[in-house]
Amino acid sequence: MKTNSTDSKCKICKSDINEDYYREQLCFRCYHWINTIFAEIDNNTRHRFIIDGNHYCEIKKFPIHLKYLLKFYGDNFTIRLLDNNAIILCNNLWSQGKIPEIIKEKFPKETANTAMFESIQVKKS
Ligand SMILES: [Zn+2]
């Protein structure tokens, strides 16, 4: 998509938009984070967490022949939800990384911490 000079700045962080990543007047980074923090829970995702400002998803188990794809090598995480103290046990936690400050400033409610790590059990090979 061709952009003019006023459209070529990201509407959230005001950085220059690389045309290759132009989506809804967002730079690639902001596009990634908007789609991450507002993502629906789909058939493959069981939970989404924000822990210490980092975004994580628990993805359903892979078929046994794809077990090597488990994130964090299949380490077992015990995660406590902050709103109701529920405990989630998961062995396929995917990290999307630390949420940038500019995204946290624009969407404080959606980027507030939702959970904490209770324990991490490293899987022995
Ligand atoms: Zn941006």
Residue 108 pLDDT > 90 = yes
Residue 3 has a pLDDT of 47
Find the 109 Cα to ligand 1 centroid distance in Å.
19
Find the 10 Cα to ligand 1 centroid distance in Å.
5
Sequence-separated contacts (24+) of 56-62 with Cβ below 8 Å:
56/93, 56/94, 56/95, 56/96, 57/93, 57/94, 57/96, 58/88, 58/90, 58/92, 58/93, 58/94, 59/92, 59/93, 59/94, 60/92, 61/91, 61/92, 62/92
Residue 103 pLDDT > 80 = yes
Residue 7 pLDDT > 80 = no
Find the 55 Cα to ligand 1 centroid distance in Å.
18
Find the 88 Cα to ligand 1 centroid distance in Å.
33
The CA-CA-CA angle for residues 61, 55, 10, to 5°, reads 125
User: How do residues 14-45 score in pLDDT, each as one tens digit?
Assistant: 998 877 666 688 888 999 999 899 988 877 77
Residue 106 has a pLDDT of 95
Find the 32 Cα to ligand 1 centroid distance in Å.
9
Which residue is listed with tokens 């090979």?
125
User: How do residues 61-93 score in pLDDT, each as one tens digit?
Assistant: 666 566 667 777 678 889 999 999 999 998 888
- Domain layout of the chain by residue ranges: 1-38, 41-121
pTM: 0.79
Q: Of 39, 45, 38, 49, which Cα lies nearest the Cα of 117?
A: 49
Find the 14 Cα to ligand 1 centroid distance in Å.
6
Residue 59 pLDDT > 70 = yes
Find the 124 Cα to ligand 1 centroid distance in Å.
41
Find the 22 Cα to ligand 1 centroid distance in Å.
10
Higher pLDDT, 21 or 10: 10
Whether 21 and 28 have beta carbons less than 8 Å apart is answered as: yes
